[in-house]
Each structure stands twice: as structure tokens, then as C-alpha cells.
């Protein structure tokens, strides 16, 4: 990427990546290993926008003060993992009004049947049966708007988001089929590095910040909490340390975390534990996690103590994001037939 074009000597344009994360709680170690630590690596090769998806978070009832705090903390955490606001656009979704404007237009090009087939709507409806709101039903359209506003070429997706990317592509193709090539059709981006981290207490399920506290490591957990949680992590009655996700999911999960954080090949890591017990594995893993998280937490605290700098970052991010978003929205409004301002 960004190499010289051989025909005219000008640099090739970088592909654009958009990624979002909800401020519904502190990200887990699984979020960090599976996605967030790769974001800094992407900055060198791609034009990156990182969005704190606060609009998406209110499909579930939020405590206002807590939502504001978690949003600010998440911005500080993105900076702490090394995302440079001079190199990336970091912004709050709610600060860019074009997201909701485009979402309404795209709602009118999306069918009820398509939304009713979304598996996450079914899952969340079951979990929040007392609050099955319209936003929960149509938020894949808002997600499509997030992506299409910035003409994103690539979107990092996990298995649980593939369906949303597919509907985004369907909506974009439908609109383009009527009005011409207005939207870039995004592709899924699947990181070269990253691993799926499982729950510490139920290692056949993905680690999630919505689970009970002992099931996950938070990126802001102090050393005592990390030590306690790893010590209580599920293993099995067979004392042998081996990588076997099907028969030894708990031990395999702990090995996956250590291998991911140290970069050590799994075979070599398993060999290093020959003749040793789970206590050694858990002790070593605890040290590795603390060594990984401590410098991030130190930087996080520095940013949280400098609220004026955080505000500068989010204002600048909103300004840059809005400028890009308006280019797309203006084109959409004209194509649809609205009178120009």
C-alpha cells in the first residue's frame, strides 16, 4: 500500500478502514487480542477511522452519566494502545449527525423481512425482552450508514458481524442500482493476527464483558484482579498441559492467551510446560497479562487526567469525520431528489 504509482510517480491512495466499538463497558483482554492491538498496525497501510459507537449502545437502556464516563474512558484507552490521532480519525458517532441522517434514507431502501432475519436482533430480543425497541430492530441500517458514509473499502468483522456486513452490501448495491455508483461496496477485513479468546469460566463461549466478572479480564483490571481471575480459571482434572480445544478447552484457552501476547509458537509454548502443572501455567500467564496491561493502564491514566487534551482529540475527530461524511450525504440527498440547501 501507499507505494509509488509506476505510471505517474504519484502515491497510490490508501484503502479506507472503518471500525467501531461500543462504550458499553471496558473492553476485555479478548477484545484487545482479537481486534484492538491490530488497529495500530493497520495505521501504516490504511486510511483508518475508529468510531466510538455510542448511538448503537442505547438500543439497551444506559445510565447517562455512566455512558458519558465509559465513552470518555474508551477514547483514552484507544489513545493508550497507541492510536495516533494525527494518523487516525478518532471520533464519537453521536458527534457526526450525518450518521442518523443517512440512516433514515437507507431505512427507506431496506425491507422488513431483511431486518427480521438478523440473528443478533433475535438474540438481543431474548436477552432484553422488556425493551424490544425499533432501534434494536433497525440498527443494522445505522451500521450500514456508518460504513457507507465514509466510503469504507474494508470493515474488520468477526463471525457475529458477518450478517451485518452482508446487509450493508445489499443496501448499497440496491441504492447504487437505482441511482448509480454512489456508495463503495465494502469488503470484510480479516486480521492476519488475532485469536479468539474464550470465557475463563465457560471456555466454550467467547470472552464477553457482559458476563459475570470472573469470566473475563478487563483491560483496566489491576494485578490483584488479574491474579485472582486467572487462578480461578477453569482447567480440567487431567494435569497434562496440552493444546486441545475440543477436549481441554480451558487449558487451551489459557495457552492461546499466552501465545497471543508473547508471540511464542504454540508447539514451543506447550513443550516449555512439559512435566509442569497448571499452577505454573497460571502463574506465568498472570505475569504476561500484567506486563501487557500495565503500560497501557499507565498511559490510560495519563490521558484521563488530561481532559482538555481528550476534548481536543474528540473535537478534531468529529470535524474530520463530518467533513468526509458530508461529501457522501450531500451526494445521496441530491440523488434522492431533496432540494439543496
Domain CATH for 86: 3.40.50.620
The SS3 call for residue 188 is strand
| pLDDT average, residue stretch 139-151 | 96
pLDDT of residue 269: 96
Please indicate, yes or no, if residue 272 is contained in any of the structural domains.
Answer: yes
Instruction: Work out the average pLDDT over 2-19.
Output: 64
- Residue 160 has what pLDDT? 67
Residues 102, 104: Cα–Cα separation, whole Å: 5
Task: Using the structure block, give the residue that is written with the C-alpha cell 432540494.
Answer: 339
Cβ-based neighbour number of residue 252 at 10 Å: 22
Predicted TM-score (pTM) of the model is: 0.89
Packed helices 134-149 and 162-179: angle between N→C axes, nearest 10 degrees: 70
- % of the chain at pLDDT higher than 90: 73
Residue 194 falls within a domain, yes or no? no
Q: Could you report the per-residue pLDDT of 65-123, keeping only the tens digit for each?
A: 999 999 999 999 999 999 999 999 999 999 999 999 999 999 999 998 888 887 776 67
Query: Is 204 inside a domain boundary?
Result: no
Q: 89-92 and 47-52: which strand pairing?
A: parallel
Cα–Cα distances in angstroms (integers) from residue 21 to residues 37, 42, 75, 329, in the given order:
13, 16, 10, 23
Has 124 been annotated as catalytic? yes
The verdict on 138 and 271 lying in the same domain is no
Q: Say yes or no: 266 and 320 in one domain.
A: no
pLDDT digits (tens, 9 = 90+) for 39-68: 888 888 999 999 999 999 988 888 999 999
Residues 318 and 254 in one domain: no
**Same domain? 43 vs 117:** yes
The pLDDT, as a whole number, for residue 117 is 83
Looking at the domain assignment, is residue 97 inside a domain?
A: yes
CA distances from 309 to 49, 90, 334 (A): 19, 13, 38
Report the distance separating Cα 137 and Cα 126, nearest Å. Answer: 13
Q: Using CA atoms, how far apart are residues 17 and 155, in angstroms rounded to an integer?
A: 6
Mean pLDDT value across the chain: 91
Question: Which among 124, 229, 248, 282 is annotated as catalytic?
Answer: 124
322 and 274 co-located in one domain: no
257: phi then psi, degrees, rounded to nearest 5: -60, -50
The pLDDT value given to residue 5: 43
Q: Do 317 and 280 fall within a single domain?
A: no
Give me the catalytic one of 13, 206, 231, 331.
206
**262 and 327 inside one domain:** no
pLDDT attached to residue 43: 85
Q: Is residue 143 located within the same domain as residue 54?
A: yes
Q: How much is the pLDDT for 168?
A: 96
Residue 144, classed as helix, strand or coil, is helix
Annotation marks residue 209 as catalytic = yes
Range of the domain at 277: 213-302
Beta strands in the chain (DSSP E): 16-21, 47-52, 89-92, 154-156, 187-189
Task: List, for residues 220-277, the tens digit of each pLDDT value.
Answer: 999 999 999 999 999 988 889 999 999 999 999 999 999 999 999 999 999 999 999 9
Which pLDDT score is estimated for 238? 86
pLDDT at position 268: 97
Residues 133 and 279 in one domain: no
pLDDT at 113: 86
Determine how many CB atoms are found less than 10 A away from the CB of residue 323. Answer: 11
Contact 94, 55 (CB under 8 A): yes
| CATH classification of the domain holding 296 | 1.10.240.10
> Among the options 127, 209, 282, 299, which is catalytic?
209
Residues 245, 258, single domain; the answer is yes
Domain membership flag for residue 46: yes
Same domain flag for 29 and 156 = yes
Q: Do the beta carbons of residue 71 and residue 52 sit within 8 Å? A: yes
Amino acid at each position: 500500500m501507499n507505494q509509488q504509482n509506476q505510471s505517474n510517480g504519484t502515491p497510490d491512495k490508501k484503502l479506507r478502514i472503518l471500525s467501531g466499538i461500543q462504550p458499553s463497558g471496558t473492553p476485555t483482554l479478548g477484545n484487545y487480542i482479537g481486534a484492538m492491538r491490530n488497529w495500530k498496525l493497520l495505521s501504516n497501510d490504511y486510511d483508518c477511522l475508529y468510531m466510538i459507537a455510542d448511538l448503537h449502545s442505547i438500543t439497551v437502556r444506559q445510565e447517562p452519566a455512566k455512558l458519558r464516563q465509559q465513552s470518555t474512558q474508551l477514547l483514552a484507552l484507544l489513545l493508550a494502545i497507541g492510536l495516533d490521532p494525527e494518523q487516525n480519525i478518532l471520533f464519537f458517532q453521536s458527534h457526526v449527525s450525518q450518521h442518523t441522517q443517512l440512516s433514515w434514507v437507507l431505512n427507506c431502501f431496506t425491507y422488513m423481512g431483511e431486518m427480521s432475519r438478523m440473528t443478533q436482533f433475535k438474540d438481543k430480543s431474548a436477552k432484553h425482552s422488556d425493551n424490544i425497541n425499533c432501534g434494536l430492530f433497525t440498527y443494522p441500517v445505522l451500521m450500514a450508514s456508518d460504513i457507507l458514509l465514509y466510503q469504507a473499502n474494508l470493515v474488520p468483522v468477526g463471525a457475529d458481524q458477518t450478517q451485518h456486513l452482508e446487509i450493508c452490501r445489499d443496501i448499497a448495491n440496491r441504492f447504487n442500482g437505482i441511482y448509480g455508483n454512489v456508495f463503495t461496496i465494502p469488503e470484510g477485513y480479516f486480521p492476519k493476527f488475532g485469536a479468539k479468546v474464550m470465557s475463563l469460566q465457560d471456555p466454550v463461549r467467547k470472552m464477553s464483558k457482559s458476563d459475570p466478572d470472573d469470566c473475563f479480564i478487563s483491560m483496566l483490571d489491576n494485578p490483584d484482579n488479574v491474579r485472582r481471575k486467572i487462578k480461578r480459571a477453569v482447567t480440567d482434572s487431567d494435569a497434562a498441559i496440552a493444546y486441545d480445544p475440543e477436549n481441554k478447552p480451558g487449558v487451551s484457552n489459557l495457552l492461546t492467551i499466552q501465545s497471543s501476547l508473547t508471540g511464542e509458537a504454540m508447539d514451543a509454548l506447550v513443550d516449555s510446560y512439559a512435566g509442569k502443572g497448571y499452577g505454573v501455567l497460571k502463574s506465568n500467564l498472570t505475569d504476561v497479562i500484567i506486563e501487557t496491561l500495565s503500560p497501557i493502564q499507565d498511559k490510560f491514566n495519563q490521558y484521563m487526567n488530561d481532559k482538555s487534551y481528550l476534548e481536543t482529540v474528540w473535537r478534531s475527530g468529529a470535524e474530520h469525520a463530518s467533513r468526509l461524511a458530508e461529501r457522501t450525504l450531500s451526494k445521496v440527498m441530491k440523488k434522492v431528489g431533496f432540494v439543496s440547501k
